């Protein structure tokens, strides 16, 4: 289906080629994952499949790309467009219509198809992505996952042979991501569509794909079927790519083969345990083995909470009700205290009210009923912006926080407006803590995504706020960037409240997790407590990480690969 | 509170007005603009205005829209009345208030002998404001009863180049997003202790501060969007087909023919009359038209 | 204003002169020649009953008119001052001594000596004298005889010539009943004859703008000198005398403010150093039982305002200040601002042409842009709408209502600075002809689709703006890919945008004035063009280059 021969590509104005001699053949029906670190050339490779390179780009391309026997160099964009559908990271950047139907019909209309044929294709495409009920819906009213499925459907309407997707789930919440991945997989399995997927969240999707290709510095460094790819785990590790937790676990336990699925892993482990102990694993109880019993956790957690959740609360929320419109209540009687030095993760599905709650803490929103006190001041009694110096809010899209000419100016902006002393020192400290000192003369908007996030955070840190609020900082960001940022806050001691969908980030960095659903707090405690309770997880769109699923199924209580490996290691 | 949303978002219902073909609506709006510009007779202008206003009744617009309309109309009326009260230059005129006395230093000189509020100007402004008010009401009636995509569909069939119509569709789609982004940027500025609404040179800083991140996002988004639509054969062929065909109903046709012929007659009668009063062209055979124009137009 | 005074069309000056000479020639005391009305006087001289030596009668002409202008059968109104006119001419080769005596009946009060003596020395020597007299209000009405006696002594020989003149003394009511102004024809020709091709009771005021005059000068049909800042029109007054005596009348008019009834200065301008009132009356002797139409010139200074006025026409009996008949008519002055009309028409034609060309060539124009560029322009259009139009929907009117005439200082910050930042930034990013047009087009349509503002004024001003910007940006090379660097480049860009915007502001004011009949003062338009159109746009364009350069880095 796809044949790439000795492909070289150099972007205009750059000396070094981004693609350096790629040779690749992809069969019909194959589901291929291309991964690699940022800047490895994976997205560029994707663009060659659609003809954007070389047709719409001024760069220099050498070598050949054949799709279904057609050379991309010699074919027009229109033909190629029909052959290969492209889907990008952010569905909001791809949908231009206000109504779903228009979006899907757009391609067939451009192909000058008959009205009946357009209608048929719209219907079929929507059916294939499971969105038939939304044909006349407003695009803005859809969730992230639904929007991305609309993008896929709009490509399907072109009846492509190949579907190329560029990080299609990196901006999704867990529910959206699973919807989208399930859709893609169905297309591959049921329609026999060739799928080329670029994604750095390898660990989440490896079990769905047929083949994994790893790129680095414009070259393919690994090209293996999914089952055997992780035998070269060192390749992934050296490039900073996360491998699936199951692989990690089995690698740690020195297994020879690495299963990609939870069920498979459980089966193998259970088999091993039975073999070793000659007893049925299902009859094992946690007390028998005594690893990380739930008692331990609650004790452990309790003591931890005790350390952090005492004294006068920094924030105190009393019976807060709020709605943007009269008949739509978003917050329904929230009662919370947040104490100094705590790192609180707000979790829950989209629309559960977590962002709204966060904005109440910054005094950007004032409760309809009830009171929010921040540092002892009722948010009602003061102007929203008088809290500015004490509360630092980092918005969901940090790009909107960058408006100055240079990084240094950006970071200096707030303290100089607030009339602080010693601005130079504060600015330098903030930039140092976010590791952006070397970028201080650059234009913030021209930096990479991860750098932009760090500049935005630094521009808040320079105000030396006592409370930092992060609104979904993990959305659309590389794991590495998140970790760098969160590591800083862990060592800092400021009070931190953040919304996130990312269980790992919450588990790793939060001292307390608050789970919200439909405007109400349904769980409040440390990560271990929360994620042991599958009932709560079911009520939200959250899913237990694979390790916890395996542990639970085997009757363990473990929260990380290390814990589980250690526990299992004693048995097997 | 009247927000940008209550102006820009249509209320979709199934009424006589909603069912009109968007092309018929656009043509009627253009016809109204022409007629109201041609008219001088206050009574006729008021009549036309009331006819347009009465269109809101069968359209069954919700209360909030009617309030919005009222506020906008009052603002337009007041704005015109106020400006004309100041600049009215016909006699008789009666000064009811002096804003800048003729002997005021500098301003007196600047304004060529002071600035006064004239009673007759208010009345004159109210009459002339009927023009803006009529066009505004007609426009809003059209917008509030038509989905933007139908309107653009209509525009595209009325020979607005498809690419242009497409650009407008995209612009409409991204408007809420960009408004939200602008609002966020202003909030961020304020949270950083900056006062964006303060008058003076700081406003320039605000403007740059707001536009830089907003447009940077636009620029990034444009690239993705372009690739996305190109892979859906945008501009691949000279023409295209449409899933949604527009079909004139008999009622649409009657309205269009009526609007167009009325416009042509009124505008040409008024042109002839003006040629006559300007002493450029006169024909005794046109006396009937002259007296019609003088009396009713 | 200075400009206007120096730009004068000679045609107009000529009209003024002709009118001044021919239409009504003023009768000034002491001058007996009355070119316009002498004919009338002659035709009515049937009286002057003569008694005396017929030989002597051949040697002199002895003429007595009471009142002046009427040889017999004159009329005097109670309480009036009148003048009698006595004239004597000799046809004798030699001297003669003359004593003239006027005998008025009792009750008439003579102002001055009733006895006059003089000497005529040779053939065609003549003498004349006006003799003022007063008819007291209580003088009984009726016909009186006035006797004039000339005693002529030639070489010691005396002879007497007598004249008996009848004069009727009438009450004011009697005269008022006799005289009526039937109608006033506005406008009319010099003779007072109306013209169906011109609207009744209406004056079209003179074009006040210098532009057309200057164009006329350039075209060779005008010149910059002359007395051209006053327009002359005419009115016809139809007046009727249904009495039995001829009556000398002065017909005059005044244009009054409708409310205050005060004369409006703009309708009595100064001509050749004199008030135009000196030129704008007619005196006639209206024969018994006749009807007559008199043409009067109306002088309108160029500063006259349009609107409604009162045309007050009156007839006074000559020799008195008493008004025998008067009539008021409401008149309209239509101010046709031809400059605005001309500019609006040209802008409209330009708009139609531009749109026509665009629609016909849209494929070629649009395909010169990459899809990415089209999307960028579209999103910039959205951004300009979000940052400018939406706040302005409310702010414009509110600012207008609160800040009044100076709201433009505030509004311009949004409209001009922010808008031009966007326009110039898009040109920096996509240096191609057509960018501005597409951006403004998206903005206009967005405005229409979302807010219903498919306003023809906006369409015209956007079009003019787009055309001007495209031409100028192309001319300075910005849309030909020239990189704008350094201060010179910025100043040039700023200047180009500022000029184009000032032009479109000027045009849009004119269009507002013509299509929406709104008034704007000159100073206001000038201040708008200068501050909003020029200054703010300049700042906006300057900042737009900064913004564009920043965004360029984002793309890279």
Q: Does A56 contact C550 at a Cβ distance shorter than 8 Å?
A: no
CB-CB contact of C463 with C355 (8 Å):
yes
Number of other residues whose CB lies within 10 A of the CB of residue B287: 12
Q: Cβ of A81 under 8 Å from any chain B Cβ?
A: yes
Interface B-C: count of C-beta contacts within 8 A: 289
Mutate to test the interface with B, among A93, A100, A164, A388 (most CBs of B within 10 A): A93
pLDDT at C5: 36
Q: Please name the member of B88, B152, B276 whose beta carbon is closest to the beta carbon of C519.
A: B88
pLDDT at C129: 87
pLDDT for residue C177 is more than 60: yes
The H or E element spanning position C100 is: strand C96-103
- Helix, coil or strand: residue C335: strand
Q: In this structure, is the dihedral angle defined by the CA atoms of residues A508, A513, A515 and A519, taken in order, positive or negative?
A: negative
pLDDT class of A550 with cuts at 50, 70, 90: confident
pLDDT for residue C28 is more than 50: no
pLDDT in tens, B233-282: 887 777 788 887 778 888 889 999 999 999 999 999 988 888 887 777 88
Q: Cβ of A405 under 8 Å from any chain C Cβ?
A: yes
Nearest CA in chain A to C371: A56
pLDDT at C25: 35
Q: Cβ of C379 under 8 Å from any chain A Cβ?
A: no
pLDDT for residue C11 is more than 60: no
Secondary structure E strands in C104-217 = 109-111, 115-120, 126-134, 142-154, 157-170, 179-188, 202-205
Mean pLDDT of C102-107: 86
Q: Cβ of A448 under 8 Å from any chain C Cβ?
A: no
pLDDT for residue B216 is more than 70: yes
pLDDT at B195: 73
Instruction: Report CA A561 to chain centroid distance, whole Å.
Output: 20
Start-to-end CA span in chain A (Å): 45
Mean pLDDT of C507-534: 85
Mean pLDDT of C535-546: 88
Nearest CA in chain A to C373: A56
Q: Is C70 exposed, middle or buried (0-12, 13-18, 19+ CB in 10 A)?
A: buried
pLDDT for residue C3 is more than 60: no
Chain B residues whose beta carbon lies within 8 Å of the beta carbon of residue C305: 89-91
Q: Please name the member of C370, C371, C553 whose beta carbon is closest to the beta carbon of A446.
A: C553
Among A47-61, C375-389, C444-458, top mean pLDDT goes to C375-389
Domains of chain C, start order: 2-170 (2.60.40.10), 175-335 (2.60.40.10), 338-555 (no CATH)
Mean of pLDDT over chain A: 82
- Complex ipTM: 0.86
Q: Please name the member of B110, B138, B235 whose beta carbon is closest to the beta carbon of C452.
A: B138
SS3 of B161-179: the string is CHHHHHHHHHHHHHHHHHH
pLDDT for residue A348 is more than 50: yes
Mean pLDDT of C513-527: 83
Q: Cβ of A279 under 8 Å from any chain C Cβ?
A: no
Residue predicted with more confidence, B83 or A23 = A23
CB-CB contact of C518 with B129 (8 Å):
no
pLDDT class of B46 with cuts at 50, 70, 90: very high
What whole-number distance in Å separates Cα of residue B74 and Cα of residue B80?
A: 10
pLDDT at A289: 43
pLDDT class of A302 with cuts at 50, 70, 90: very low
pLDDT in tens, A484-512: 778 888 777 788 898 888 787 888 888 88
The percent of residues above 70 in pLDDT, for chain C, comes to 81
Residue in A311, A363, A356 with CA at minimum distance from that of residue A338: A311
pLDDT for residue A106 is more than 70: yes
Q: Does A111 contact B233 at a Cβ distance shorter than 8 Å?
A: yes
Residue in C235, C238, C234, C233 with CA at minimum distance from that of residue C249: C238
pLDDT at B51: 92
A300, C134, C166, C236 from A498: Cα distances, Å? 23, 110, 119, 90
Mean pLDDT of C256-277: 77
- Helix, coil or strand: residue A531: helix
Residue in A223, B177, A208, A385 with CA at minimum distance from that of residue C383: B177
Q: Is A38 exposed, middle or buried (0-12, 13-18, 19+ CB in 10 A)?
A: middle
Chain B residues whose beta carbon lies within 8 Å of the beta carbon of residue C541: none
pLDDT class of A195 with cuts at 50, 70, 90: very high
Q: Cβ of A404 under 8 Å from any chain B Cβ?
A: yes
Residues in chain C: 556
pLDDT at C400: 67
pTM, rounded to two decimals: 0.78
Nearest CA in chain C to A56: C370
Mean pLDDT of A197-203: 84
pLDDT class of A461 with cuts at 50, 70, 90: confident
Interface A-B: count of C-beta contacts within 8 A: 177
pLDDT in tens, B167-215: 888 888 888 888 888 888 888 888 887 776 666 666 777 778 888 888 9
Nearest CA in chain B to C338: B278
Q: Cβ of A98 under 8 Å from any chain B Cβ?
A: yes
Q: Cβ of C345 under 8 Å from any chain B Cβ?
A: no
CB-CB contact of C149 with C115 (8 Å):
no
Start-to-end CA span in chain B (Å): 39
pLDDT class of C12 with cuts at 50, 70, 90: very low
Between A60-74, C386-400, C430-444, C467-481, the lowest mean confidence (pLDDT) is in: C386-400
pLDDT at B8: 63
Helix axes C338-367, C456-475, angle to 10 degrees: 60
Chain A residues whose beta carbon lies within 8 Å of the beta carbon of residue B175: none
pLDDT at A221: 92
Among A61-75, A178-192, B251-265, top mean pLDDT goes to B251-265
Q: Does A399 contact B217 at a Cβ distance shorter than 8 Å?
A: yes
> How much helix, strand and coil, in percent to the nearest 5, is found in chain C?
45, 30, 25
Helix axes A449-461, A407-417, angle to 10 degrees: 20
All partners of chain A with 3 or more CB pairs under 8 angstroms: B, C
Between A105-114, B40-49, C50-59, the lowest mean confidence (pLDDT) is in: C50-59
pLDDT for residue C6 is more than 50: no
Q: Which residues contact C175 (CB under 8 A, 6 or more apart)?
A: C75, C77, C243, C247, C317, C324
Q: Please name the member of B136, B215, B225 whose beta carbon is closest to the beta carbon of C383.
A: B215
The percent of residues above 90 in pLDDT, for chain B, comes to 6
Q: Does B86 contact C309 at a Cβ distance shorter than 8 Å?
A: no
Between A72-81, B119-128, C486-495, C499-508, the lowest mean confidence (pLDDT) is in: A72-81
Q: Does B211 contact C387 at a Cβ distance shorter than 8 Å?
A: yes
pLDDT at C43: 32
């Amino acid at each position: 289906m796809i044949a790439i021969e000795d492909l070289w590509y150099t972007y205009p104005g750059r000396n070094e080629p981004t693609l350096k001699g790629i040779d690749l053949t992809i069969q019909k029906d194959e589901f291929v994952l291309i991964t690699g670190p940022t800047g490895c050339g994976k997205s560029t490779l994707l663009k060659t499949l659609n003809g954007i390179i070389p047709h719409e780009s001024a760069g220099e391309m050498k070598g050949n790309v054949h799709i279904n026997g057609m050379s991309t160099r010699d074919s027009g964009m229109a033909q190629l467009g029909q052959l290969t559908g492209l889907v990008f990271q952010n569905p909001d950047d791809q949908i231009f219509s206000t109504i779903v139907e228009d979006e899907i019909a757009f391609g067939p209309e451009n192909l000058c198809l008959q009205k009946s044929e357009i209608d048929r294709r719209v219907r079929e495409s929507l059916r294939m992505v499971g969105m038939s009920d939304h044909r006349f819906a407003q695009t803005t009213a859809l969730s992230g996952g639904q929007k991305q499925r609309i993008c896929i459907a709009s490509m399907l309407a072109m009846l492509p042979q190949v579907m190329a997707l560029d990080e299609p789930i990196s901006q999704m919440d867990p529910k959206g991501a699973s919807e989208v991945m399930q859709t893609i997989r169905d297309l591959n399995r049921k329609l026999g569509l060739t799928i080329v997927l670029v994604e750095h969240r390898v660990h989440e999707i490896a079990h769905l794909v047929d083949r994994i290709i790893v790129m680095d510095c414009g070259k393919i460094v690994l090209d293996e079927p999914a089952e055997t790819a992780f035998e070269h785990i060192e390749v992934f590790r050296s490039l900073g790519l996360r491998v699936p937790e199951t692989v990690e676990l089995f690698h740690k336990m020195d297994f020879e083969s690495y299963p990609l699925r939870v069920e498979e892993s459980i089966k193998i482990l259970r088999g091993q345990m039975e073999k070793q102990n000659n007893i049925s694993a299902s009859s094992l109880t946690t007390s028998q083995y005594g690893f990380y019993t739930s008692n331990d956790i609650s004790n452990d957690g309790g003591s931890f909470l005790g350390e952090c959740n005492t004294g006068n609360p920094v924030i105190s929320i009393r019976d807060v009700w709020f709605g943007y419109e009269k008949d739509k209540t978003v917050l329904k009687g929230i009662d919370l205290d947040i104490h100094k030095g705590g790192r609180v993760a707000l979790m829950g599905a989209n629309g559960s009210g977590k962002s709204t709650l966060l904005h109440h803490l910054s005094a950007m929103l004032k409760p309809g009923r009830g009171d929010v006190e921040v540092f002892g001041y009722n948010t009602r009694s003061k102007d929203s912006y008088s809290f500015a110096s004490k509360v630092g809010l980092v918005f969901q899209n940090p790009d909107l926080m960058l408006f100055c000419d240079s990084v240094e100016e950006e970071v200096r902006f707030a303290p100089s407006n607030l009339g602080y002393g010693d601005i130079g020192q504060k600015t330098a400290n903030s930039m140092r803590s976010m590791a952006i000192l070397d970028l201080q003369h650059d234009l913030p908007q021209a930096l990479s995504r991860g750098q932009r996030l760090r500049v935005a955070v630094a521009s808040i840190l320079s105000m030396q706020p006592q409370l930092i609020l992060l609104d979904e900082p993990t959305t659309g960001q590389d794991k590495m960037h998140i970790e760098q940022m969160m590591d800083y806050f862990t060592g800092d001691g400021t009070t931190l409240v953040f919304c996130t969908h990312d269980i790992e980030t919450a588990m790793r960095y939060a001292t307390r997790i608050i789970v919200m659903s439909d405007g109400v707090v349904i769980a409040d405690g440390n990560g271990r407590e929360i994620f042991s309770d599958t009932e709560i997880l079911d009520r939200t769109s959250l899913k237990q990480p694979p390790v916890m699923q395996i542990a639970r199924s085997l009757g363990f209580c473990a929260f990380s690969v290390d814990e589980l490996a250690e526990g299992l290691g004693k048995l097997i | 509170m009247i927000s940008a949303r209550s102006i820009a978002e249509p209320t979709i219902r199934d009424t006589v007005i909603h069912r009109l073909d968007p092309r018929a609506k656009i043509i009627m709006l253009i016809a109204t603009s022409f007629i109201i510009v041609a008219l001088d007779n206050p009574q006729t202008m008021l009549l036309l205005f009331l006819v347009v206003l009465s269109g809101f009744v069968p359209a069954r617009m919700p209360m909030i829209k009617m309030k919005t309309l009222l506020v906008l109309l009052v603002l337009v009326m007041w704005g015109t009345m106020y400006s004309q009260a100041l600049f009215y230059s016909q006699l008789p005129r009666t000064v009811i208030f002096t804003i800048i006395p003729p002997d005021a230093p500098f301003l007196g000189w600047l304004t060529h002998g002071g600035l006064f509020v004239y009673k007759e100007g208010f009345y004159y402004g109210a009459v002339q404001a009927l023009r803006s008010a009529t066009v505004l009401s007609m426009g809003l009636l059209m917008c509030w009863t038509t989905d933007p995509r139908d309107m653009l569909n209509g525009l595209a069939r009325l020979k607005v180049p498809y690419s242009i119509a497409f650009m407008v569709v995209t612009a409409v789609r991204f408007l809420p997003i960009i408004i939200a982004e602008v609002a966020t940027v202003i909030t961020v500025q304020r949270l950083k202790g900056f006062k964006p609404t303060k008058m003076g040179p700081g406003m320039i800083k605000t403007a740059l501060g707001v536009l830089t991140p907003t447009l940077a996002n636009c620029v990034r988004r444009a690239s993705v969007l372009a690739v996305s639509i190109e892979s859906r054969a945008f501009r691949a062929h000279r023409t295209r087909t449409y899933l949604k065909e527009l079909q004139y109903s008999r009622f649409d046709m009657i309205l269009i023919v009526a609007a167009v012929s009325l416009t042509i007659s009124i505008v040409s009668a008024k042109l002839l009359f003006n040629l006559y009063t300007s002493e450029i062209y006169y024909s005794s055979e046109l006396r009937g038209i002259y007296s019609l124009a003088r009396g009713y137009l | 204003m200075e400009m206007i005074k120096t730009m004068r069309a000679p045609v107009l000056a000529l009209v003024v002169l002709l009118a001044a000479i021919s239409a009504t020639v003023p009768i000034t005391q002491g001058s007996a020649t009355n070119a316009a009305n002498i004919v009338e006087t002659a035709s009515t001289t049937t009286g002057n009953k003569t008694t005396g030596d017929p030989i002597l009668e051949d040697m002199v002409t002895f003429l007595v008119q009471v009142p002046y202008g009427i040889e017999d059968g004159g009329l005097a109104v109670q309480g009036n001052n009148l003048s009698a006119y006595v004239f004597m001419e000799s046809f004798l080769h030699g001297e003669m001594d003359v004593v003239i005596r006027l005998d008025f009946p009792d009750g008439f009060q003579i102002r001055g000596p009733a006895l006059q003596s003089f000497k005529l020395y040779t053939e065609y020597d003549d003498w004349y004298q006006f003799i003022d007299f007063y008819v007291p209000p209580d003088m009984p009405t009726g016909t009186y005889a006035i006797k004039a006696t000339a005693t002529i002594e030639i070489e010691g020989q005396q002879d007497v010539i007598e004249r008996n003149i009848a004069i009727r003394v009438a009450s004011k009511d009697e005269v008022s009943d006799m005289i009526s102004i039937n109608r006033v024809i506005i406008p009319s020709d010099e003779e007072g004859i109306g013209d169906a091709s011109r609207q009744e009771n209406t004056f079209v005021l003179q074009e006040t703008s210098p532009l057309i005059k200057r164009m006329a000068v350039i075209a060779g049909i005008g010149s910059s000198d002359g007395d051209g800042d006053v327009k002359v029109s005419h009115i016809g007054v139809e007046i009727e005398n249904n009495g039995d005596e001829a009556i000398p009348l002065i017909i005059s008019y005044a244009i009054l403010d409708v409310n205050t009834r005060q004369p409006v200065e703009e309708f009595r301008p100064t001509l050749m150093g004199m008030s135009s009132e000196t030129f704008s009356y007619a005196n006639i002797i209206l024969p018994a039982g006749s009807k007559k139409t008199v043409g009067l010139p109306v002088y309108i200074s160029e500063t006259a305002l349009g609107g409604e006025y009162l045309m007050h026409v009156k007839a006074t009996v000559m020799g008195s200040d008493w008004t025998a008949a008067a009539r008021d008519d409401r008149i309209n002055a239509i101010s046709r601002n031809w400059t605005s009309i001309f500019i609006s028409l040209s802008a409209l034609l330009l708009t139609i042409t531009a749109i026509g060309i665009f629609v016909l060539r849209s494929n070629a124009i649009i395909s010169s842009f990459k899809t990415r560029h089209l999307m960028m322009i579209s999103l910039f259009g959205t951004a300009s709408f979000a940052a400018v139009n939406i706040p302005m929907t409310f702010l414009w009117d509110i600012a207008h209502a609160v800040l009044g005439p100076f709201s433009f200082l505030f509004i311009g910050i949004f409209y001009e600075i922010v808008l031009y930042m966007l326009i110039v930034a898009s040109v920096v990013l996509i240096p191609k002809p057509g960018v501005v047009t597409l951006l403004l087009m998206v903005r206009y349509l967005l405005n229409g689709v979302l807010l219903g503002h498919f306003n023809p004024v906006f369409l015209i001003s956007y079009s003019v703006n787009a055309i001007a910007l495209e031409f100028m940006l192309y001319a300075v090379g910005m849309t030909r890919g020239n990189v704008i660097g350094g201060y010179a480049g910025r100043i040039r860009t700023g200047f180009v945008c500022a000029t184009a915007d000032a032009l479109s502001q000027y045009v849009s004011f004119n269009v507002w004035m013509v299509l929406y009949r709104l008034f704007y003062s000159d100073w206001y338009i000038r201040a708008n063009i200068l501050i909003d159109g020029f200054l703010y746009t300049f700042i906006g364009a300057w900042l737009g280059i900064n913004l564009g350069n920043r965004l360029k880095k984002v793309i890279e």
